[in-house]
Structure 1
Amino acid sequence: MEPADPNPHREANLVRPYTLTAGRTEASVDLPLEAQIQTVQSALFHRWPPNDLNAKIIGLCIKSPSVAEISARLDVPLGVARVLIGDLVTGGYLQVHTTLTDSSTKDERVELIGRTLRGLRAL
């Protein structure tokens, strides 16, 4: 017996993930799972087609989510999210905030771990 779908009202995605990235599997920029992504102010004025995935990413990134959170919220594979985010970074619509370094504080590390866990749980 198969388990019930936890979200029975979710629409089936008929588009294969690789078609969203034109078959590409590598992002154009380095995007660690925990990297926070933020919308560049000028991106808010760009007109995107209705229901465009790029527009959804731009909207999500106003609150600086991690790459993992973006993938989970859009319900797309992590590799697809990385490619799409990378394209938007290269296009000047998003910016990547640096992740932890050797000089990062304990609070920064705890914050990052919390954000990453929330993103993974959402998957």
Structure 2
Amino acid sequence: MAPPQDGPWLDAAAGRLVRPYTVSNGRTRPTAPLDLLSMVVPTGTAPIGHMGPEHTQALGLCIAGPTSVAEIAAQLRLPAVVTKVLLSDLVDCGALTAKAPTFRDNPTDQSLLEAVLDGLRRRL
């Protein structure tokens, strides 16, 4: 997937010209229950009202199919909490639906977490 285009919102020397929390109007709490593994899918309904360019970019990233909140945050180069606020705006207006991640096993199984930790230690 192509990264967002450089344009008036980015400056090579200074970085982002619009601060991340300006994008979410200073909000830090999403209205929809989203976590990093939540999958969002477009409904085909056009957003009601004016959405910012980041909303449009986030919606465009979901067109190919179910996309995780973490993937969208990485593509937008925004903090996860800001991305969650943007996506919850799109869920609230009916442009997106969100599904919580499902785990076949217990996601906090201690043996699984220890195996992941051991694998990370071996790589470092």
> The TM-score by the shorter chain falls in which range?
0.5 to 0.7
Note the alpha carbon deviations across 1:72-121, whole angstroms, 9 max, x for none. Answer: 001011110000001110111100023115xx38xxxxxxxxxxxxxxxx
Residue in 2 that maps onto 1:29: 32
Equivalent-residue separation in structure 1 for 2:102 and 2:35 (angstroms): 11
SS where residue 83 of structure 1 aligns?
Answer: helix
Between the aligned residues of both structures, percent identity stands at: 34
Note the alpha carbon deviations across 1:31-70, whole angstroms, 9 max, x for none. Answer: 0110111111123x87977x81111111111221100000
The two structures, once aligned, show a CA RMSD in angstroms of 2.4
Q: Based on CA coordinates, which of the two structures has the bigger radius of gyration?
A: 2
Which structure shows the higher helix fraction?
1
The structure 2 residue matched to 1:89, chosen from 65, 88, 91, is 91
- Distance in 2, matches of 1:27 and 1:42, equals 20
* CA distance in 2: counterparts of 1:33 and 1:58, whole angstroms: 16
4+ residue runs over 2 A deviation? 45-49
Higher strand proportion (structure 1 or 2):
2
Length-normalised TM-score, structure 2? 0.65
Q: What are structure 1's unaligned runs of at least 5 residues?
A: 1-8, 106-123
